[in-house]
Amino acid sequence: MHFVGEKNGPGWFSNGRRVSGFEEAGSIVKPEKTGKITPVKALQYSVVVLPKLDNEEELRRLREQYDPTYYQLAPYVPMVLPFTPATLEELQAANDFISQTRRKLHPWAVDFRNCVESEDRLLLVPASGGEELVRLHEELHGAQTMALIEEPPYAPLLVLAKIPDPERRQEAKHEVGRLGRTLGVVDSLSLLGAMPSGEIRLVAHYPFGIGRVDYYDRLLP
């Protein structure tokens, strides 16, 4: 795994182990006070943007009606693929890098317009503000990928809801369309952790600029 800013790597997690979603995977080691190394279940982590949305309350009611998992996570824009650190040092390096990266960022507005489907999810497409999201992705991930398998180009999309039933997904899509445009402000990055149980936790919140990083959960299991 390489991180932006390291001498040997062009981008954050640009040559690391990749996974397609939040799934249980592997283990990391955690030193005990005795100095012994004990294997523990690994969290998967993901870096996302949780934009502040102008119609947050309307979207919340819609998601509550259609998405059985709405309470786990607010609408988000994925920035990098979920990853499982191989060592505690990699996890700390990721945290340090995110904290440093956000210091030079400034808030911007995003205008989400079109609602589309992807498998069982509803997504919102940015009409403006998307180019800034792409640049942020490239800064985190690296514009030049070193992955062994080719990935499609990054497309900034707001993950709105997960609705397994096709008919209800169509109903929800129609309701989203009736809301019209969704305006958002991007002013921070967030680190999410997925437990082996499937629970998703907000681990850390990194406001743009020099504000304090808020940690909501331990970075280590």
Look up the domain containing 204 and give its range.
Answer: 27-215
> Which CATH number characterizes residue 167's domain?
3.90.1140.10
> Do the domain assignments include residue 34?
yes
Low-confidence ranges of the chain (pLDDT < 50): 1-42, 143-149
> Do the domain assignments include residue 207?
yes
Which pLDDT does position 3 carry in this prediction? 32
Model pTM score: 0.78
Which pLDDT does position 66 carry in this prediction? 95
In whole angstroms, how far apart are CA 5 and each of 82, 101, 137, 156? 20, 10, 15, 24
3, 93 contact by CB (below 8 A): yes
188, 208 contact by CB (below 8 A): yes
> Do the domain assignments include residue 68?
yes
Distance CA 32, CA 212 (A): 29
> Do the domain assignments include residue 100?
yes
105, 135 contact by CB (below 8 A): no
Distance CA 118, CA 165 (A): 13
> Do the domain assignments include residue 52?
yes
Distance CA 67, CA 87 (A): 35
192, 212 contact by CB (below 8 A): no
Q: Please give the backbone phi and psi of residue 174, each rounded to the nearest 5 degrees, phi first.
A: -65, -40
Q: Please give the backbone phi and psi of residue 178, each rounded to the nearest 5 degrees, phi first.
A: -70, -25
> Do the domain assignments include residue 134?
yes
Please give the tally of structural domains in the chain: 1
Name the helix (H) or strand (E) containing 130.
helix 130-141
Sign of the dihedral through C-alpha 220, 102, 3, 48: positive
Mean pLDDT of the residues in the chain:
79
> Do the domain assignments include residue 6?
no
pLDDT tens for residues 176-197? Answer: 999 989 999 999 999 998 888 8
Which pLDDT does position 24 carry in this prediction? 29
Distance CA 174, CA 194 (A): 30
> Do the domain assignments include residue 161?
yes
